[in-house]
Amino acid sequence: MTWSTSDIPDLTGRRALVTGATSGLGYETAKVLLQRGAEVILAARNPEKTAEAARRLTGDTQRVPVTVELDLADLSSVERAATHLTNTYDSIDILVNNAGVMATPYRQTLDGFELQIGTNHLGHFALTARLMPLLQSGRVVTVSSFMHKSARIIQQSDLRQPAGNYSKWPQYSMSKLANLLFMFELGRRVPTVVSVGAHPGYASTHLQAAGPELAGAKLMAKVWAGLNLFAQSAAAGAEPSLYAATEPDLRSGTYVGPGLFEFRGAPKVVQPTQRAQDPQLAEQLWAWSVEATGVDPALTVAR
């Protein structure tokens, strides 16, 4: 039987936080969660864009989301956002680690990490760790990509990849592999949390052009715009995340993607690569991430 968002149970009384919720997959994820009754927190970097997204969501759903400023490329911003949230709420039922950057020109985060892995993986690792007191019996959805399949093995030096060794697409794939390694290891280390993953297939979102545009590659931006004619909508691309976030009885380690060759279509449980499930590599990445961020989700004590 084909799953659709109408199969999502009533979420009244549940609280969800979605990162990167100002547009694309994050916006569509937040929209459906609001429609199904959840209290939704929009966490994003730009306060003006976040406020505008909140206004649009209120118009679309007749329900008002909460907003919080969060820059995943700045670990001090992650700490401030998490402190505000833990001082404000007693629980978060669903955390959707959705925000990301793709194929950007070489840049570093404020803490000196390569931007893609620093934002896509380390920022979410730190956020999840700092929110763990609120997530003790919750669900964490980590959004990856089918591009994790092309990633090589991760080394600790990749976290601070120097400009001379940088290649934007391999580094993006590596960050998406890191997302899945984190997802599996979180489930192993924190059994009270349901840690699952999702990927959107090929969906038309701002990320498809953002990387080439940031690099000043106008031709590539036009190519991506043309390819988007064949992509599924952002709303359809958000369905795997929504399935992962709301389907009852999912177990940690479940990975959800589109059903048609993992490219488009209704969501279903799919299989990541063997490398993404490598427990030794996941353990190494966890240790490196703890060293890089100064926090450990498995050691965060419940209040």
Cα–Cα distance measured from residue 243 to residue 141, given in angstroms and rounded to the nearest whole number: 10
CATH classification of the domain holding 282: 3.40.50.720
pLDDT tens digit string along 143-176?
999 889 989 889 999 999 889 989 999 999 999 9
Q: Is residue 296 part of a domain?
A: no
Reply yes or no on whether 144 is catalytic.
Answer: yes
Domain that holds residue 145: 7-291
Using pLDDT thresholds of 50, 70 and 90, give the confidence band for residue 177: very high
More confident residue, 203 or 1: 1
Cα–Cα distance for residue pair 263/286, rounded to 1 Å: 29
16 three-state secondary structure: strand
Asked whether the predicted pLDDT for residue 23 surpasses 70, the reply is yes
Pick the closest to residue 49 from 33, 32, 71, 34 (CA basis): 71
The one catalytic residue among 31, 145, 172, 289: 172
Residue of 27, 168, 175, 176 marked catalytic: 176
* Tally: H helices and E strands in the chain: 11, 8
The model's pTM:
0.91
Q: What phi and psi, each to the nearest 5 degrees, are found at residue 211?
A: -60, -55
At 67, is the secondary structure helix, strand, or coil? strand
* Residue 258 main-chain phi, psi, to 5 deg: -65, 150
Tell whether the torsion through CA atoms of 65, 24, 115 and 131 is positive or negative.
positive
Q: Is residue 28 part of a domain?
A: yes
Q: What is the largest CA-CA distance in the chain?
A: 52
CB 39 within 8 A of CB 14: yes
- Number of Cβ atoms within 10 Å of the Cβ of 153: 11
Lowest mean pLDDT, pick from 7-11, 16-20, 53-57, 259-263: 259-263
Classify residue 299: in a domain, yes or no.
no
Residue 158 lies in a domain: yes
Q: How many CA atoms lie within 13 Å of 71's alpha carbon, on the beta-carbon side?
A: 11
Q: Quote the distance between the C-alpha of residue 1 and its chain's center.
A: 27
- Domain count of the chain? 1
Residue at 301 is within a domain: no
The answer to the question of residue 16 being in a domain is yes
Q: Looking up tokens 């959840």, which residue turns up? A: 38
On whether residue 59 sits in a domain, the answer given is: yes
Q: Is residue 218 part of a domain?
A: yes
Contact 16, 94 (CB under 8 A): yes
User: Is 106 an annotated catalytic residue?
Assistant: no
Catalytic choice (31, 77, 144, 202): 144
Active-site residue, 49 included: no
